[in-house]
Structure 1
């Protein structure tokens, strides 16, 4: 709980210092409240809206009073402790008497306390009629029962309020010490209680050498008086309060000191190291909008309570700057925050979902909700509206009409920003969704700070593959010395997984294989960002378990060399070394038939053919010489291409294969097979050999385009 604010005011001490430079202001008021002998009652008010620091100023005044006059008597009255509004005056006088006796601890104070108690007892049998001066009309339990009885009339004569008050005044005068009565938070009382406090100060307790220090929101007090049929509320307050003082404006520098203190307490700068540019973006959001929105100490403390909690829940999963912005929205405009939470598509262009893909255009969703977004600003001041819009448009750039951004990034996900729906989901739900992984887990995986294979098993079991690959791609640049270990374990686990096999077998009709393609993109990015590409590539090409990826690596090497790319992975003279490494590995894997699916086997064979047609030709000839290996031969060469209509097809009777195998002999051997007893994809391959042409693997139909 020490990390959260309890809405407690400062004390003006080293632990809770005056960061808003109000000590001098408080000293002047303390001098005014320190009345001299025979001074009449004085009432001073500190006025300001909720959270502006009124109670903190009162604490500073109390410190100054004790330094100005050690004997001064400070009486603090908390009207919240009163039982009922009708007993508030009596309760005040009783508290006054108790504190007076305790703080003065003299015979004179004891006598004054007794007179106060006697005075207060009158209010236990009578109550003041709201709206009338106390001396003008008294109605009480005794008064309501008055008849012709002489005894009852005698009882009424005891209600000598003026006489009792005079005795209190005389007793207090004999103490001859200044008394300061502090009544804080008047604006938190009910209208009836608030009105009773004002009447108390005006007519019940205006004793000699006694000053009152009141604090309230003047707008609320004016509203209360209006409800009690006071025609000119401000003039009425002026009759009661002789000196009305507004809370000093909090300077920008003063508020910045509070911000700096809170940032240091939460170690914010340290926590911005996770995502690149986060600290600079945080400063930008602060200067551009935030400092104009949080303008009172209470708002700042409420904000940091929310921000601190949010940060503790999802630290490292969402950039600090955007969590900062979300907390500001929650504190200053909760209807907008709730709208973001209930209707995220209005801000990011799509529903937040980890399981479904929305094909609707984001721009359309953003446009459709423009009116709803605007409506949520209703009720805000023009200043708050202006700066909240700036803040919201900065973190949700799709809704901004200005395409310019000081902090543009290529990937909002990699930057941890809530403009990416999955990051917004985490921020709004304060947790990582089930079946997902976090940036920290992925980084720990990269650095080997967790057991990698166990973690990947968890990813596979919980179907967190998509998010795992997304985050691994985001953090590919930090792999470096860990690149080989990361790619080897990831490639090995996925290529040998039943999930990969099932996906390849079930998706013959699709152009893409999700897991395989994600592996390929991961390998490409990690290699591209590695500082020693040749060493990494050679190690990867030497791994049998990564043979399908070796083919993909060679394709990229050749393409970059052919295109004279500035991002060449290796020099041209090193290509033969790579070819020899892969030739040895590919042939070993094919001969031992260790892979999970024929599609992967086919990819390895194409890689072998790319580096050595002669070795590929010898391998096929060996299979062709063994009738029992014909089906294996077909699956080794039968995944030749794909289109967007029906997916993968076999195109075996082509010029390319005529260079690698005796097509006449292959056709003769294949004709011996009972095609109808074979799986559909094998039937397509048989037709391609026997009839020539392309046949789709999903249904063995002929390619007709």
Structure 2
């Protein structure tokens, strides 16, 4: 269209002056068309004098007139003499005519001095400023307006090439500013060899004119006034939807550069096409929409390109620009969903969140349509409750571990580990940075000893809320296990098992039950190890000789209680594994004292031991050293937890240990330790205090229930 407009503007029939309107809604590409046309005109062999006039940048009425005539003067000055006339005298006549004429246009304003007209805008001391200042100051009293206009017209007709004035951004003007601009065009619109190209949104322009004139019928009055000034119009054609979508896809692919190492392949490409065709088709209607969307993507991409899914990124930025209410709902929902998925919060009123979603998404996503199923592929936890005829009820915050693993593996918007990159150019607090996850995966593949150091560090470091990094790191790595070769997975398991007890020791909850470090490690183990002989060999290795005894005890508890769906062994296999655990403790009972959760280990040793006399003898011998006894029964996992409507207690049942050992006086020994706390060294004082608190809770608990 720029080529055709260039031809029109160069037509000789416009030599008597012309005002051409370029009409199109906001964002339809009017400014782009003007820029392309100016570029085309500038490359002509004999280019016209081009004036780019933006009234939106001008302050008041006086400034508007001054800026306009300065722009004309500068355009003339930039032209070679051959383009303006045969001599410098012809150029001077045009400029002097413009200066005189400009003084009369500003009705009701002070006469403009040449200093006010030029000096603020031109370089001080320039040849043009000096010459025009001198000529203006030498002028006699102004001639009548019609005489000055005749002189100016005669001078302009001598110009070999036209002056083309491009006026843009008129739709940003307030109604009074619109009227001043139109009055200026009306005053100079019939001057020869000056062509005006005015870009505007017709509906906005007509309304502003009507408002400025205080008309009753805004549209009719505004349209009639506009027709008196604009002699012809060109309508920006409504862009074809498929052309805008094709343009958007080309821009995205150019930015993201899909290749073998890129995440933008296979299913990701299909989802990108779906987002561009579906959501793009609904939300993109003008070239400006594409430009604004890509500007947002280009700003974010360098920082987050390696940590996001392209299709999801396009989708969320479309919402940000075109559906802000749905965008904010999505951000708030994903914040809550991440906490629920981590197990650090419970979903509050999923039905209410679903109703809020319907309110903000009704325009695009009907719950009875296929579009809502498409939405559920983007937003995690959005599940249909029933599939009966006419039943369209959905719920939110539905946790599906397999879905979460896939979302995390492919860095989707719904991943609790990656979602913050889509909103804040970085991860949320409480999650391992994606750079660290990437580094850990590289260490797994390379079987680097640095991986174990990383895990041990994660077993000590905490987030702001007090949670250890360790379980979060394991949860982040688990979805990537299918992409790792078997040998590298085995290496990872060894490093993990060697470090998990350290994480248990540093946990706020010194127990394997409901301990996130334990559950995360077990998920990795069961996820990466096949059922059958491979699982049997792996568990035997862990139970018999691996470093993390408390973790091994928790695995044995799953065997003893048959509580984990991932462990399915025959009775013979289970007996052998239990025997291996009992043998390990029987050979070296002191391992119990060094364990992160000694009472979990003791409980499982008791459950697995087949020789009761040997078990009691080994335990009695271990407890004969009072320091060993204090360490075990003073551990945090020695005290049980009892909840009731009457109160909560954490009793220490001393008789339990007496029964285990078969030693009649053990209960009194424990009570004596509590009564004589000061006799023991400082390193045992925390454990003894725990014993004292546990015995106190035991008495209160018994008193309440007896």
Please indicate, yes or no, whether the TM-score normalized by the shorter chain is above 0.5. yes
In structure 1, what is the Cα distance between the partners aligned to 2:205 and 2:491?
70
Tell me the secondary structure at the aligned position of residue 196 of structure 2: strand
The equivalent of 2:121 in structure 1 is: none
The equivalent of 2:618 in structure 1 is: 622
The equivalent of 2:547 in structure 1 is: 545
Q: CA deviation at 1:647?
A: 6.6
The 1:571/1:607 distance shift into structure 2, 3 A limit, reads same
1:97/1:114 contact within 8 Å kept: no
The equivalent of 2:188 in structure 1 is: 204
Higher RCO (C-alpha 8 Å, min separation 6): 1
The equivalent of 1:438 in structure 2 is: 433
The equivalent of 2:166 in structure 1 is: 182
In structure 1, what is the Cα distance between the partners aligned to 2:255 and 2:101?
52
The equivalent of 1:217 in structure 2 is: 201
The 1:304/1:77 distance shift into structure 2, 3 A limit, reads closer
Pick aligned residue for 1:128 from 106, 111, 123: 106
The equivalent of 1:22 in structure 2 is: none
The equivalent of 2:48 in structure 1 is: 73
Work out whether 1:250 is the aligned partner of 2:252: no
Work out whether 1:363 is the aligned partner of 2:350: yes
In structure 2, what is the Cα distance between the partners aligned to 1:636 and 1:299?
67
Q: CA deviation at 1:61?
A: 3.0
Tell me the secondary structure at the aligned position of residue 460 of structure 1: coil
Q: CA deviation at 1:684?
A: 11
The equivalent of 2:251 in structure 1 is: 262
Work out whether 1:168 is the aligned partner of 2:152: yes
Instruction: Output aligned runs, 1:457-536, within 5 Å.
Output: 457=457, 460-463=460-463, 465=467, 468-470=470-472, 472-479=474-481, 481-496=487-502, 499-500=505-506, 503-504=509-510, 513-515=513-515, 518-531=517-530, 533-536=535-538
Work out whether 1:116 is the aligned partner of 2:114: no
Cα deviation 1:76-109 (Å, max 9, x = unaligned): 2323565753243344334324323533432437
Pick aligned residue for 2:224 from 235, 245, 250: 235
In structure 2, what is the Cα distance between the partners aligned to 1:627 and 1:264?
70
The equivalent of 2:599 in structure 1 is: 602
The 1:635/1:66 distance shift into structure 2, 3 A limit, reads closer
Cα deviation 1:22-77 (Å, max 9, x = unaligned): xxx3333333222226853232221123322112222333455567x632414123
Q: Structure 1: state its 5+ residue gaps.
A: 1-24, 130-137, 143-154, 688-694
Tell me the secondary structure at the aligned position of residue 195 of structure 2: strand
1:79/1:88 contact within 8 Å kept: no
Tell me the secondary structure at the aligned position of residue 211 of structure 1: strand
Q: Structure 2: state its 5+ residue gaps.
A: 113-138, 216-220, 385-390, 445-449, 677-687
Work out whether 1:99 is the aligned partner of 2:95: no
> Pairwise CA RMSD of aligned residues?
5.1
1:484/1:540 contact within 8 Å kept: no
TM-score normalised to structure 1 length? 0.71
Pick aligned residue for 2:443 from 441, 448, 459: 448
Tell me the secondary structure at the aligned position of residue 545 of structure 1: coil
In structure 2, what is the Cα distance between the partners aligned to 1:541 and 1:92?
88
Tell me the secondary structure at the aligned position of residue 22 of structure 2: strand
1:317/1:426 contact within 8 Å kept: yes
The 1:524/1:177 distance shift into structure 2, 3 A limit, reads closer
1:491/1:519 contact within 8 Å kept: no
TM-score normalised to structure 2 length? 0.71
Q: CA deviation at 1:410?
A: 1.9
In structure 2, what is the Cα distance between the partners aligned to 1:409 and 1:316?
26
In structure 1, what is the Cα distance between the partners aligned to 2:337 and 2:480?
31
Q: CA deviation at 1:519?
A: 0.9
2:272/2:310 contact within 8 Å kept: yes
Instruction: Output aligned runs, 1:288-437, within 5 Å.
Output: 288-313=278-303, 320-334=310-324, 344=332, 361-363=348-350, 366=353, 370=356, 374=359, 395=379, 402=392, 410-411=400-401, 414=405, 415=407, 427-434=422-429, 436-437=431-432
The 1:292/1:498 distance shift into structure 2, 3 A limit, reads closer
The 1:618/1:466 distance shift into structure 2, 3 A limit, reads same
The 1:636/1:158 distance shift into structure 2, 3 A limit, reads closer
The equivalent of 1:34 in structure 2 is: 10
Q: How many residues align?
A: 625
2:654/2:667 contact within 8 Å kept: no
1:48/1:216 contact within 8 Å kept: yes
2:23/2:199 contact within 8 Å kept: yes
The 1:276/1:534 distance shift into structure 2, 3 A limit, reads farther
Cα deviation 1:321-378 (Å, max 9, x = unaligned): 544443333323556656777xx37x876897999965573336537x849x95x89x
The equivalent of 2:586 in structure 1 is: 587
Cα deviation 1:494-548 (Å, max 9, x = unaligned): 52468547743xx8xxxx8543x54145314432333554454344334442122
Tell me the secondary structure at the aligned position of residue 475 of structure 1: helix
